Amino acid sequence: MAAKHSGRSHVNYRVLFCASLALALVTQGGALGLAGAVTAKPAGAKGTGTNSGSLQPCRLSFEPIATRPDPAASCRYQGCFSNPDKMFEDLAKNGFCLDASSPTDLSDFTTFRALQARNDSKKTGDRSQLRAIRPHGEGSIVRLTAFIKGAHTSDCPGGEAVNCDKSGFVNNDIHIPLVQNPSDDECLSVTAEMSPHFRPATWSQIDQKTPVNRLVRITGPLFYDSSHTPCAVDAKNQITARNNPERLSLWEIHPVYAIDVCDTAKGTECKVGDTAHWIPYDQWVSRPGVHVVDTGKAQREECAKAKPVNKKCPGTVPPSSP
């Protein structure tokens, strides 16, 4: 399926953090496109600590149903990074304020395969080379139609660096493998991640109320997740090697900006760019008689049994609110 819009937003992340980090980024030519101004006292630490500063708010794509105050506000956008590469990776994962008005249709997964074939470096630096990829690089807003293979909480028992290594469902992403056909192997999937920041209450049920065998539409920015290794899949879709978590490409949608469900079981009426026949998941799931499956039960149970983990990142953090 051909791309219908460029979706290029020039990665206007609007993630504002302490002056010491912000100044370092601005010297790279404003690569992250930070919006507004930071009013904060410079920090003396080596880029790992932060001082409090005012944040420029943005209207989230899912603002009407966003959870405020942010349940994950105790975790800063750059997470508990171990090196500069990871800091920029975490900031990209938390790109909530990009312009989503003209998403590109990537429903046929061809672009994800092509991007993976580039074999981009695991060391991504400030990620400017990823954002410079044309026609679709990191931060491009994309949209696709697919089927959810199964949704579940991610890294819940021990936490993940981007989420400040905190355990618990409320502090971690929801991992959503997307496939073109319900019977497809998960190694042929593209990943979407729901961040814990501002996550709507209804979205937080999607691992327990998953619309399986039902066409969905996912919107959000492209992100290159260099922390993993994809499955090896040949030109005939034959899987020659598996890696966990299973996926076709390291390029994913992260964070999710919108999720819609087709209003018909066959799904043939639901075209990616149409406004008709699509129902926001938060509205669809409340309808009587809809078919949902608890695809994340095992991960929820594992999460509930885990001992609490609550590491403290270096430095004082500003409030996490776009």
Which stretches within the chain are classed as H helix?
Answer: 19-26, 84-93, 110-117, 128-131, 281-284, 297-305
d(CA 216, CA 270): 9
The two structure tokens encoding residue 38: 């930071």
Q: Where are the domains of the chain?
A: 104-305
How many CB atoms sit inside 10 A of residue 120's CB? 17
Nearest CA to 281 among 213, 221, 218?
218
61-72 tens-digit pLDDT = 999 999 999 999
Whether the predicted pLDDT of 73 surpasses 70:
yes
More confident residue, 267 or 14: 267
> How far from 29 is each of 22, 33, 34, 126, CA to CA, in Å?
12, 9, 11, 11
Whether the predicted pLDDT of 199 surpasses 70:
yes
d(CA 150, CA 296): 7
Long-range contacts of range 36-44, CB-CB < 8 Å, 24 or more positions apart? Answer: 40/318, 42/18, 43/18, 43/19, 43/315, 44/20
136-181 tens-digit pLDDT = 999 999 999 999 999 999 999 889 999 999 999 999 999 999 999 9
Strand stretches in 27-140, DSSP E: 39-40, 53-54, 104-105
258-316 tens-digit pLDDT = 999 999 999 999 999 999 999 999 999 999 999 999 999 999 999 999 888 877 776 54
Nearest CA to 126 among 5, 29, 239, 16?
29
Whether the predicted pLDDT of 25 surpasses 50:
no
pTM for this entry: 0.83
How much of the chain, in percent, has pLDDT values that exceed 90? 68
The answer to whether the Cα torsion of 209, 210, 213, 218 is positive or negative is: positive
Name the CA dihedral angle for 269, 273, 276, 279, rounded to a multiple of 10 degrees: 90
- Pair 198, 59: CB distance under 8 Å: no
CATH class (in words) of the domain with range 104-305 = mainly beta
47-61 tens-digit pLDDT = 222 222 234 569 999
- Pair 267, 215: CB distance under 8 Å: yes
